[in-house]
Amino acid sequence: MKLLYFARVKESTGVAEEEVMLPRNVTTVAGVVEWLKTRGEGYTHAFADLAIIRCAVDQQHGDLDTPIAGASEIAFFPPVTGG
Amino acid sequence: MKLLYFARVKESTGVAEEEVMLPRNVTTVAGVVEWLKTRGEGYTHAFADLAIIRCAVDQQHGDLDTPIAGASEIAFFPPVTGG
Amino acid sequence: MVRVQTEDFDIGAEINALTDGRTDIGALVTFTGLVRDMNEGRVTLMELEHYPGMTEKELVRIEQEAHQRWPLQASLIIHRIGRLLPGDNIVLVITASAHRQAAFEAASFLMDYLKTSAPFWKKEIRDGKARWVEVRERDNAAMKKWFSQS
Amino acid sequence: MVRVQTEDFDIGAEINALTDGRTDIGALVTFTGLVRDMNEGRVTLMELEHYPGMTEKELVRIEQEAHQRWPLQASLIIHRIGRLLPGDNIVLVITASAHRQAAFEAASFLMDYLKTSAPFWKKEIRDGKARWVEVRERDNAAMKKWFSQS
């Protein structure tokens, strides 16, 4: 699975993207987040307040309940501020 | 008093503007209209349906009740259609 | 600023003139009205008559009203007169503000107000015959909206 | 049509490209968003990050949604990325329709939707410090309006 991080989230994780092997019991975005939080301080900090985390699964907006089966790319980012 | 006519009203009266001496008892726009209607077929036709006549006294929108005392210019025209 | 003119206008140049050297504008809205070739019939020519003197006064009054209602940093109204062909520009409204809602609302207000208040009259050659353009009830309704809200 | 680019855009040229040779457009609205030098502090630089691939998809989706809601004859969304200075253009939205209400509403909708949905993030150098721009609650409220009305 390819994971991408943007803006403030990227600054916390310290990486823009990475290839990961997710445990089999991870089936939703919420599961991915829980797993990421075990990977060190940067991740714990990035996902400390889920109210300001948004995600996209295969480049479509999702939420914590979005299933990840068959997905090839998950992105995490703060609420958008373009325009 | 200077009277001006625009668009369809001008086509009916046959003149774009004219200087007139209004009778003393004419004190409002309604009075001007009544007086104009005595001046021939073109005017009668122009002011036959007052629902589609608008007026301005000294270049400010008015209505039939607008007093004309001290005014130097009265214009009659159809509802505007610019923009 | 308001202008009534027979010549065409250059929207890009007008925007540049309004924004050049400024760094306080966050939102800029332009509205351009153009002659359509279809309007309840095939239109081949439009002729715009106006009331010289009053037109400019009305446009200034309308513009001032918009500045009283919204925090505008700049605005412009240009209205053409004379003979126009399908595809030609008729009217340009520009509004600039710190935030987009003010710029959008003010531009929309200016057009609604102008349509019901500025002394212009359109005559079209439609299906080969000269016809005065009729007022649209929705234009009056659009105008009333601004006064019932407040 | 949507574009994401580092280069500036020329509003006049974009309008001409959209309207050239057409005689069916009656109303054209443009919205331009610009970098302001003041935003809760003195802004000296803005940096725009985005999610390549998803950004374009989102903009296309947003544009399609606008075309479903209003009878648009043409539309354009351009959003810049990278480093911008106060006074620089950020975003351009153009909508064209037979009538003005559709063009105004669609342009406003596109901006509201884009602000809350397209994956862009702004960082400002404000009072000498780099800060991520925070979401404004009024932007979320502006977006919700379009979904409660229908």
Res C150 pLDDT > 60: no
Res. D137: pLDDT tops 80: yes
Residue-level pLDDT at A34: 97
Q: Does C123 touch chain B (CB under 8 A)?
A: yes
Whether A32 contacts A2, CB under 8 Å: no
Q: How confident is the model at residue C149 (pLDDT cuts 50, 70, 90)?
A: low
Chain A positions in Cβ-Cβ contact with residue D91 (cut-off 8 Å): 82-83
Q: How far is CA C34 from the centre of its chain?
A: 10
D134 and D126 Cβ atoms separated by less than 8 Å: no
pLDDT, tens only, D32-87: 999 999 988 999 999 999 999 999 999 999 999 999 999 999 999 999 999 999 99
Contact C9, C85 (CB under 8 A): no
Residue C92 scores a pLDDT above 90: yes
- Neighbouring subunits of B (3+ Cβ pairs under 8 A): C
Q: D150 pLDDT exceeds 80?
A: no
Q: Which amino acid is at B22?
A: L
For residue range A28-45, list pLDDT tens digits in order: 999 999 999 999 999 999
Tell me whether residues C87 and D21 touch, CB distance under 8 A. Answer: yes
Dig out the tokens for C53 from the structure. Answer: 């003197």
Condensed to tens digits (0 to 9), the pLDDT of residues C98-135 reads 999 999 999 999 999 999 999 999 999 999 999 999 99
Q: Which chains touch A (3 or more CB pairs under 8 A)?
A: D
Measured distance CA(A81)–CA(A8) in Å, rounded: 12
Per CB distance under 8 Å, which residues of D are interface residues toward C? 10-13, 15, 19, 21-38, 86-87, 98, 100-101, 103-104, 107-108, 111, 138, 142
Task: Give chain B's largest Cα–Cα span.
Answer: 39
Chain D positions in Cβ-Cβ contact with residue A77 (cut-off 8 Å): 51, 119, 121
**Which helix (H) or strand (E) segment is C137 a member of?**
helix C137-149
ipTM, 2 decimals? Answer: 0.95
Asked if D70 and D84 count as a contact pair (C-beta separation under 8 A), the reply is: no
User: Is a pLDDT exceeding 70 seen at residue D101?
Assistant: yes
User: Under a CB-based contact definition with an 8 Å cutoff, are residues B7 and B13 in contact?
Assistant: no
A81 touches chain D (CB under 8 A): yes
Query: In whole angstroms, what is the distance from residue C116 CA to residue C143 CA?
Result: 7
Residue with structure tokens 């037109």? C55
Q: How confident is the model at residue D148 (pLDDT cuts 50, 70, 90)?
A: confident
pLDDT at D149: 58
pTM: 0.96
CB contact under 8 A, D135 and A81: yes
Residues C49/B78, Cβ–Cβ less than 8 Å: no
Task: State the 10-residue block means of pLDDT for chain B, 83 residues long.
Answer: 98 98 96 97 96 97 97 98 97
SS (H, E, C) C72-95: EEEEEEEEECEEECCCCEEEEEEE
For the purposes of burial, counting CB atoms within 10 Å of the CB of D129, is it exposed (0-12), middle (13-18) or buried (19 or more)?
exposed
Q: Which residues are CB-neighbours of D53 under 8 A, at least 6 positions away?
A: A59
- The pLDDT value recorded for residue C111 is 98
* Rounded percentage of chain D residues whose pLDDT exceeds 90: 87
Q: Running along chain A, 83 residues long, what does each successive block of 10 average in pLDDT?
A: 98 98 96 97 96 97 97 98 97
Query: Which among C87, C100, C142 has CB closest to D22?
Result: C87
Per-chain mean pLDDT for chain C:
96
Residue pLDDT, tens place only, B15-31: 999 999 999 999 999 99
Contact check, Cβ <8 Å, C54/B59: yes
Vertex C77 angle, CA D139 and C53, to 5°: 150
At C39, is the pLDDT very low, low, confident or very high (cuts 50, 70, 90)? confident
Q: Name the residue with higher pLDDT: D146 or C70.
A: C70
Q: Does C50 touch chain B (CB under 8 A)?
A: yes
Per-residue model confidence (pLDDT) at position C66 = 98
Q: Indicate which of D10, D37, D88, D104 best probes the interface with C, i.e. most C CBs within 10 Å of its own CB.
A: D104
Nearest Cα of chain D lies from the Cα of C4 at a distance, in angstroms, of 19
